[in-house]
Amino acid sequence: MWSARAQPLLGNRRPSLVRAGRRTMTPRVTMSGKVSGMARAHRSRKAEIAARSRELRRQGWSWRQIAAQIAQQERVNARVAFRLAHGLSQQAVADRWNELFLGEDGEKPLTGKQISYWETWPQSGREPSLTALDRLARIYQCDVKDLLDSTDYGQPNPADQSCPAPAPLSAVAPGHPIAVSDNPTLVREPWHQVTATKILSPSLMDQLPEMDLLQLSQVILMWAHQLPPGLSRRALLSKLSTAFALAAAAPIFDISDPDEQRRVALVLEDSSQLDAATLAHAEKIVLCCRHQGDVLGPRIALQTALGQHQVVQRLVDGAPDHLKPRALSIYAELSQLIGWQLFNLGDYRGAQYYYEDACTAAHDAENEDLVIYVLCAMSHLATWQGKPRVGIDHAIAAQSWAEQAGNPRAQSYAADVAARAYAATNQADKCHAALDREYAALKAIQADEPAPSWWYFYDESFYWATVSGCALKLGQPDLALEAVTKSLGIFDPSNLHNYAFTLLFRGEAYIQHGELTEATRIIGDVASLTTVNTAQRIDQRIDEVRGLLAPWEKTRPVQELDERLAVYRSGRR
Residue 354 has pLDDT above 50, yes or no: yes
What would the mean pLDDT of 96-112 be, rounded to a whole number? 77
Cα separation values, 208 from 97, 217, 557, Å: 33, 11, 31
Domains: count for the chain: 3
339 neighbors 355 (Cβ within 8 angstroms) = yes
Q: Which of 106-115, 264-273, 497-506 has the lowest mean pLDDT?
A: 264-273
Residue type for 313, please?
Q
Q: Is the dihedral of CA 83, 87, 91, 96 positive or negative?
A: negative
Residue 226 lies in a domain: yes
What would the mean pLDDT of 541-556 be, rounded to a whole number? 94
Residue 176 lies in a domain: no
Same domain, 13 and 140: yes
**What pLDDT sits at residue 237?**
56
What would the mean pLDDT of 390-416 be, rounded to a whole number? 95
**What pLDDT sits at residue 215?**
54
Name the residue among 495, 519, 515 with its Cα closest to residue 505: 519
Residue type for 193, please?
Q
**What pLDDT sits at residue 269?**
62
- What residues form DSSP beta bridges with 215? none
Same domain, 198 and 314: no
Q: Work out the percent of the chain whose per-residue pLDDT is above 90.
A: 38
Among 206, 230, 254, residue at a domain's last position: 230
Same domain, 74 and 196: no
Neighbours of 163 (CB within 10 A): 14
Cα 330 to Cα 328: distance, rounded to the nearest angstrom = 5
Cα separation values, 565 from 233, 238, 529, Å: 18, 14, 12
For residues 106 and 303, the model is more confident at 303
**What pLDDT sits at residue 303?**
82
Residue 42 has pLDDT above 60, yes or no: no
Cα 355 to Cα 374: distance, rounded to the nearest angstrom = 7
- Cα dihedral angle (29, 30, 34, 37), rounded to 10 degrees? -80
Highest mean pLDDT among 5-9, 121-125, 368-372: 368-372
Reported as a pLDDT band with limits 50, 70 and 90, residue 145 is: confident
Reported as a pLDDT band with limits 50, 70 and 90, residue 478 is: very high
**What pLDDT sits at residue 544?**
95
240 lies in which domain range?
232-366
**What pLDDT sits at residue 378?**
97
Reported as a pLDDT band with limits 50, 70 and 90, residue 174 is: very low
Same domain, 220 and 270: no
**What pLDDT sits at residue 304?**
82
Same domain, 139 and 44: yes
Over residues 422-464, the pLDDT tens digits come to 999 999 999 999 999 999 999 999 877 778 889 889 999 999 9
Same domain, 2 and 143: yes
**What pLDDT sits at residue 391?**
96
Over residues 250-267, the pLDDT tens digits come to 444 444 555 665 666 666
Residue 130 has pLDDT above 60, yes or no: yes
SS3 for 159? coil
For residues 285 and 366, the model is more confident at 366
What would the mean pLDDT of 230-255 be, rounded to a whole number? 49
292 neighbors 246 (Cβ within 8 angstroms) = no
Residue 284 lies in a domain: yes
Provide the mean pLDDT of the chain. Answer: 77
Residue 81 has pLDDT above 60, yes or no: yes
Same domain, 60 and 202: no
Same domain, 240 and 353: yes
Residue 68 has pLDDT above 60, yes or no: yes
Reported as a pLDDT band with limits 50, 70 and 90, residue 29 is: very low
Residue 109 lies in a domain: yes
Residue 567 lies in a domain: no
Residue 522 lies in a domain: no
Same domain, 237 and 305: yes
Among 120, 148, 176, residue at a domain's last position: 148
Residue 410 has pLDDT above 90, yes or no: yes
**What pLDDT sits at residue 311?**
83
Number of H helices, E strands in the chain: 27, 1
Same domain, 275 and 333: yes
- Check: pTM over 0.75? Answer yes or no: no
Cα 313 to Cα 331: distance, rounded to the nearest angstrom = 7
Residue 475 has pLDDT above 70, yes or no: yes
Reported as a pLDDT band with limits 50, 70 and 90, residue 186 is: very low
Same domain, 144 and 1: yes
Highest mean pLDDT among 145-149, 182-186, 202-206, 486-490: 486-490
Same domain, 195 and 208: yes
Q: Which of 20-29, 112-121, 273-282, 358-367 has the lowest mean pLDDT?
A: 20-29
**What pLDDT sits at residue 206?**
57
Residues 6+ apart with CB under 8 A from 515: none
Residue 63 lies in a domain: yes
339 neighbors 350 (Cβ within 8 angstroms) = yes
What angle in degrees, to the nearest 10, is found between the helix axes of 78-85 and 112-120? 130
Neighbours of 549 (CB within 10 A): 19
Among 308, 334, 366, residue at a domain's last position: 366
What angle in degrees, to the nearest 10, is found between the helix axes of 324-344 and 348-364? 170
